[in-house]
Amino acid sequence: MSHSHAQWGPTDQIGAGNLLTVEKRLAALASVKHGRIYDVSHEIYMGAPYMPPNQTPYLMSIFGSWRDTIKRRRKLGATNDAGTNLERVEMTMHVGTHIDALGHFSKGDMLYNGNCAADVVTDWGLEKLGIEKAPPMITRGLLFDVAGFDGGTYLNPGRVVTPDDLKRAASAGGFTVQPGDIAMIRTGWGQLFGVDNTKYVHGEPGIDLPGAKWLIDQGISAIGADNMAVEVLPNPDKAMMMPVHQHCLAEAGVYLIENLALEELAADKVYAACLLLLTPKYRGATGAPVRPVIMV
């Protein structure tokens, strides 16, 4: 079931989001028996890892404090000393646990569904394929736990997660991929998030094109991982840079979810369960922070 530009029509902007059907939602929600929630996101904070030069550090400052507002309101005649605290934030949308918009990556000058980047990318965001187009995702999340496949607590940077690894993880987890599912690949690398950021962003284990294509052929709607970029870094082919992003986003219309927190899920051996992921509608943005949860 490989996806193509023409699969959902010439004006489509949601790609594999089309696989998130009413039936998928109802089945996922019906699988919830206990009401327990697993939060599979990291906090966003100053000091969170980022990948220069394209990414910049997350910065937050208090723009207005209770002291200033109480003084200002007293001058206006208020007697109840109502203080307000308000911040300003500077960030890329690709900080912490986040999802990539289909307009985040190009193949040459072409974006998803044959859109020309020169017509879509402006100084103030994307005219098409922005993150506001991503649909609410309520479906089945699948944990591909490959972290221990080399005998350690995590795979090493540059270690490719192959289709055979994914099949082995699916077999161990007792599930088969169905159209509209979302993959969550645990490489173990997420244990370094906020613990050793330098190591975390300098290479990572992950899927390469064969792994991505295998998942897409099964009908996956989004691919997530517990690392910075989902895909293996550095790529074993030195002439290739970020080919998984290029293929998933620009060619197949499959979303990528990065920096997932999968340790608790793996510890409890939750391999297939209801996933809820809602994306803030930042118009024209190339991605957005998200707080996905698994419900069992």
**What are the boundaries of each domain within the chain?**
5-53+93-295, 59-90
Over the stretch 5-38, which tens digit does the pLDDT of each residue have?
468 999 999 999 999 999 999 999 999 999 999 9
Look at residue 79 and give its three-state secondary structure.
Answer: coil
Task: Look up the CATH number of domain 5-53+93-295.
Answer: 3.50.30.50
Are 183 and 260 contacting, i.e. CB atoms less than 8 angstroms apart? no
Looking at residue 87, its pLDDT comes to 97
Judge whether residue 3 has pLDDT over 70.
no
Cis before 53? omega within 30: yes
Looking at residue 210, its pLDDT comes to 98
d(CA 20, CA 123): 32
Give this prediction's pTM.
Answer: 0.96
Mean pLDDT for the stretch of residues 220-248: 97
Looking at residue 7, its pLDDT comes to 85
The chain-wide mean pLDDT, for the chain, equals 96
**DSSP for 221-267, written as a single string:** SEEEESSSSSB-BS-SSTT-SSHHHIIIIIII--EEEES---HHHHH
Judge whether residue 238 has pLDDT over 90.
yes
> 169 to each of 140, 173, 197, 259, how far by Cα in Å?
16, 6, 27, 19
